[in-house]
Structure 1
Amino acid sequence: MDNQRHVGRECRTVSNLIKRKLDNMFYKKFGEGFTGIHSWIIAFIYNNQNKEIFQKDVEEEFSIRRSTATNILQLMEKNELIVRKSVEYDARLKKLELTEKAIKVHKLVGEEIESIEGQVVKGLTEEELETFFILIDKIKKNL
Structure 2
Amino acid sequence: MIQRRIGLELRALNNLIKRYFAFSAHNEEIERVTGNNGWIIGYLANHSDREIFQKDIEEHFTIARSTASKVLSLMERKGLIERLTVEHDARLKKIVLTDKAWKIREVMTKDADAMERTLMTGFSEAEIETLTSYIDRMKENISIAMEKK
1:95 is paired with a residue whose SS is strand
Q: Does 1:79 align with 2:78?
A: yes
Q: Does 1:114 align with 2:113?
A: yes
Query: What's the % identity of the aligned pairs?
Result: 43
Q: RCO higher in 1 or 2 (8 Å CA, sep ≥ 6)?
A: 2
TM-score by structure 1 length? 0.80
- Opposite residue 45 of structure 1, the aligned amino acid is L
Q: Residues 56-135 of structure 1: matches in 2 within 5 Å?
A: 56-126=55-125, 128-133=127-132, 135=134
Q: Which residue of 2 aligns with 1:36?
A: 35
> C-alpha separation between the residues in 2 aligned to 1:118 and 1:97?
29
- Opposite residue 60 of structure 1, the aligned amino acid is E
> C-alpha separation between the residues in 2 aligned to 1:57 and 1:130?
27
- Opposite residue 68 of structure 1, the aligned amino acid is T
2:23 is paired with a residue whose SS is helix
Q: Which moved more, 1:120-129 or 1:105-114?
A: 120-129
Q: Deviations over 1:51-95 (max 9, x none)?
A: 211112111211111211111111111111111111122222211
TM-score by structure 2 length? 0.77
User: Paired residues, what number?
Assistant: 141
Q: Which residue of 2 aligns with 1:20?
A: 19
Unaligned segments of structure 2, at least 5 residues: 143-149
**CA displacement at 1:127 relative to structure 2:** 5.3
> C-alpha separation between the residues in 2 aligned to 1:77 and 1:13?
31
Superposition RMSD in Å: 2.4
Unaligned segments of structure 1, at least 5 residues: none
